């Protein structure tokens, strides 16, 4: 089953998020759940509060259509973690629009809102600034970040049971981390604060974009951490790989597309390939004896704009959107060099894949 999420027009009252399950053989709906977004939840970019819900709802209307770049890439980890494991609850950031204080909570499919953060205290001080609410996948807690006036970021969690008291999980200097988000990884859970975080299937590694270093790979640290230059240790993805990491195809291998609009290697133009991150040594060049770290192109080079929309649970297939002029089509391909992509012709595929974010291919 492929699971997608889309958001109603943010100006509507109330906004709604719809999670839909699709059978990838027939492209018929298998389930649908709707979350009514509370009025006090942060849903629009204009409020300048970080939340994966804002990212989900940005330009994400429930009608088919394309931009010049086509649909979005397969969702980063934090968008999936906006919901608990079975998509019964959705984490939200709540705002007091008078004081601009923010806290966290969650809403269920019945529309019931549960606040986890307490009321703002009466002491003279800064307004609380809890952001980036995401769910632990076992549903036990909502994790979040809080930034103080000196730009120090605290990673913390609030249990959904008991008194919901905040438990600090880590902290660090938050400068140069604009547009960063929180993703969770591993067991026990650790919070990773950084840009475009995508966690491997086993929860032990992640790709992150680090300002001043570019796309990088890191082992998930023993404690929650911030990823930036001078922060948690991460190895830069070598320039020669020309890799925008879409996700993981095994515990050490990432699926890549061109970092910019077109790959420098004409054979990789608008194609995809794999990169064995275990063979990177932190240098700018491909390590000697590791030429095999970079896989051959998976699909033929063309003038189409291709974007990975989903990676199968067994990591053997991908679905990608292909934009040629204004014509948008969807293809399925094996994740293997020299694969022959097959066009998806079922009528429901356009509706399933042309809108919103693909969160999961179970």
Which positions ≥6 away from 25 have C-beta within 8 Å? none
Question: pTM for this one?
Answer: 0.92
What whole-number distance in Å separates Cα of residue 70 and Cα of residue 66? 5
Q: Which long-range contacts (CB under 8 A, 24 or more apart) does 172-178 make?
A: 172/225, 172/226, 172/231, 173/226, 173/228, 173/231, 174/147, 174/226, 175/151, 175/228, 176/211, 176/212, 176/228, 176/229, 177/153, 177/211, 177/226, 177/228
User: Residue 65: its pLDDT value, please?
Assistant: 45
* Strands (E) located in 51-129: 89-95, 102-108, 113-115
Cβ pair 50, 343 in contact under 8 A: no
* Residue 3, pLDDT above cutoff 80: yes
Task: Please report which helix (H) or strand (E) contains residue 359, including its range.
Answer: strand 357-361
Cβ pair 238, 283 in contact under 8 A: yes
Which positions ≥6 away from 289 have C-beta within 8 Å? none
* Residue 262, pLDDT above cutoff 50: yes
User: Residue 323: its pLDDT value, please?
Assistant: 94
Each domain of the chain, given as residue ranges in start order, spans: 1-73+304-362, 76-236, 238-294
What average pLDDT does the chain have? 90
* Residue 64, pLDDT above cutoff 50: no
- Residue by residue, DSSP assigns 258-283 as ESSSS-SSGGGTT--EEEEGGG--SS
pLDDT above 70 covers what percent of the chain? Answer: 90
Q: With cut-offs at 50, 70 and 90, classify the pLDDT of residue 281.
A: confident
User: Residue 10: its pLDDT value, please?
Assistant: 57
Average pLDDT over residues 180-184: 97
User: Residue 5: its pLDDT value, please?
Assistant: 96
Q: With cut-offs at 50, 70 and 90, classify the pLDDT of residue 18.
A: very high
| Pairwise pLDDT comparison (280 vs 153), residue with the higher score | 153
User: Residue 94: its pLDDT value, please?
Assistant: 97
Which positions ≥6 away from 359 have C-beta within 8 Å? 3, 4, 5, 19, 75, 79, 80, 83
Buried (b) or exposed (e) across 44-64, using 16+ Cβ within 10 A? Answer: beebebbbbbbbbbeebeeee
Q: How does pLDDT run across 141-164, given as a tens digit for each residue?
A: 999 999 988 899 999 999 999 999
User: Residue 349: its pLDDT value, please?
Assistant: 95
Q: With cut-offs at 50, 70 and 90, classify the pLDDT of residue 12.
A: low
User: Residue 297: its pLDDT value, please?
Assistant: 96
Comparing 195-204, 253-262, 309-318, the range with the smallest average pLDDT is 253-262
Cβ pair 117, 160 in contact under 8 A: no
User: Residue 11: its pLDDT value, please?
Assistant: 60
Average pLDDT over residues 22-33: 96
Average pLDDT over residues 328-336: 97
User: Residue 45: its pLDDT value, please?
Assistant: 79
* Residue 36, pLDDT above cutoff 70: yes
User: Residue 224: its pLDDT value, please?
Assistant: 97
Cβ pair 105, 117 in contact under 8 A: yes
Cβ pair 216, 282 in contact under 8 A: no
Task: Please report which helix (H) or strand (E) contains residue 156, including its range.
Answer: strand 152-159
| Displacement of CA 162 from its chain's centroid (Å) | 29
What whole-number distance in Å separates Cα of residue 79 and Cα of residue 192? 14
Pairing mode, if any, of strands 253-258 and 273-276?
Answer: antiparallel
Average pLDDT over residues 244-266: 89
User: Residue 37: its pLDDT value, please?
Assistant: 94
3 state DSSP class of 79: helix
Average pLDDT over residues 335-348: 96
What whole-number distance in Å separates Cα of residue 209 and Cα of residue 113? 33
Q: State phi, psi for 116 to the nearest 5 degrees.
A: -100, -30
What distances in angstroms separate CA 35 from CA 5, 82, 110, one per listed residue?
Answer: 10, 12, 7
Average pLDDT over residues 202-221: 95
User: Residue 32: its pLDDT value, please?
Assistant: 96
Q: In what order do the strands lie in the sheet with 29-36?
A: 29-36, 16-22, 2-7, 357-361
């Amino acid at each position: 089953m492929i699971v997608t999420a889309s958001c109603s027009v943010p100006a509507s009252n109330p906004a709604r998020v719809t999670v839909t399950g699709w059978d990838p053989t027939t492209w018929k709906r298998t389930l649908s759940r709707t979350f009514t977004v509370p009025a006090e939840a942060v849903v629009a970019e204009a409020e300048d509060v970080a939340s994966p819900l804002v990212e989900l709802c940005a330009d994400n209307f429930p009608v088919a259509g394309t931009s010049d770049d086509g649909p979005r890439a397969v969702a980063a980890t934090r968008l999936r973690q906006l919901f608990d494991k079975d998509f019964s609850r959705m984490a939200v950031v709540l705002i007091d629009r008078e004081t601009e204080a923010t806290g966290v909570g969650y809403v269920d499919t019945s529309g019931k809102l549960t606040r986890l953060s307490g009321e703002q205290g009466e002491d003279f001080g800064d307004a609380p600034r809890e952001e980036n609410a995401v769910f632990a996948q076992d549903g036990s807690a909502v994790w979040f970040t809080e930034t103080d006036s000196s730009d120090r970021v605290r990673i913390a969690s609030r249990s959904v049971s008991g008194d919901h008291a905040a438990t600090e999980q880590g902290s660090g200097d938050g400068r140069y981390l604009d547009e960063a988000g929180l993703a969770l990884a591993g067991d026990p859970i650790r919070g990773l604060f950084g840009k475009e975080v995508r966690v491997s299937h086993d929860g032990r590694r992640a790709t992150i974009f680090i300002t001043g270093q570019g796309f990088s790979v890191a082992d998930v640290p023993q404690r929650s951490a911030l990823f930036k230059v001078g922060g948690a240790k991460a190895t830069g993805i070598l320039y020669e790989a020309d890799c925008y990491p879409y996700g993981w195809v095994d515990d050490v291998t990432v699926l890549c597309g061109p970092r910019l609009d077109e790959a420098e290697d004409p054979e990789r133009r608008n194609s995809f390939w794999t990169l064995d991150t275990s063979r990177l040594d932190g240098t700018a060049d491909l390590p000697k004896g590791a030429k095999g770290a970079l896989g051959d192109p998976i699909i033929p080079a063309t003038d189409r704009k291709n974007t990975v929309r989903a990676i199968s649970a067994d990591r053997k297939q991908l679905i990608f959107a292909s934009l040629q002029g204004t014509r948008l089509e969807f293809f399925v391909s094996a994740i293997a060099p020299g694969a022959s992509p097959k066009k998806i012709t079922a009528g429901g595929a356009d509706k399933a894949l042309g809108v919103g974010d693909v969160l999961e291919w179970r």
